[in-house]
Amino acid sequence: MKTWIIKRDGKILNVAESINDEKPPFGTGWEEVDNDWRGRKGDPLEWYDATMHRIIDDELVRRGIRKNNKGTVYNINDRTSRQIYDLDEDLRDDETKEEPLQNEAYQYYDKQKKKWVIDTVKKVKAENDGKIAEKQAAIEDAERRIQRSVRAKLSGIATKEDEEYFLKINTEIEKLREDKKQLSA
């Protein structure tokens, strides 16, 4: 059995095998290749050496003829990942092979540096917002604790302990409000 191919426009246009060792009867431009030829219709001719033997993929990648982006790639907008399993698959404009920073919520991909960097402005703002929320929660808690003393004072039945507790908690609330005001500035 013989294997025949037609080359056109830098590619393998057609492949045929003949059982009786004769050139295929249909079409013109058939060339005989080795029986162990491992090509496929549509393959670029640059994947073959002068004797039409297929060059291994690693060598084609080394020469820059094929691209190897196999592995995990990451979306630079939302850091989601996807797998590339085949050679010659291009990365999309919004993808990189660079893995995002671990355990870092405030990061973005810098296209000039070609790496993930921490967005310090957003990170500091988020940390500050968290501290402000903690102060606000402490103020609300202290205001709930002071209610009994305030009611006792308003109704004229406040004891010395009520007065001391009121002053202590009121001082705490004022300090928390000042801390919150400084954080907000």
Token pair, residue 96, equals 């990189």
First vs last Cα of the chain: how many Å apart? 85
CA distance linking residue 113 with residue 91, whole number of Å = 17
Label residue 131 exposed, middle or buried (CB < 10 Å: 0-12, 13-18, 19+): middle
Residue pLDDT, tens place only, 125-182: 999 999 999 999 999 998 888 888 888 888 888 888 888 888 898 899 899 999 988 8
Paired residues of 81 in beta bridges: 74
Paired residues of 3 in beta bridges: 17, 33
Residue 34 in contact with residue 4, Cβ under 8 Å?
no
Query: What sign for the dihedral angle of Cα 62, 64, 65, 69?
Result: positive
pTM of the predicted model, to two decimals? 0.62
Q: What's the one-letter identity of residue 107?
A: Q
Mode of pairing for the β-strands spanning 115-118 and 107-110: antiparallel
Q: Could you tell me which residue, 153 or 96, shows the higher pLDDT?
A: 96
Q: Is the pLDDT of residue 2 over 90?
A: no
How many Cα atoms within 13 Å fall on the side-chain side of residue 3?
14
The domain spans of the chain are: 2-62, 71-103, 121-184
Report the percentage of the chain scoring pLDDT > 70: 99
Which position has the token pair 């993930």? 116
Residue 42 in contact with residue 11, Cβ under 8 Å?
yes
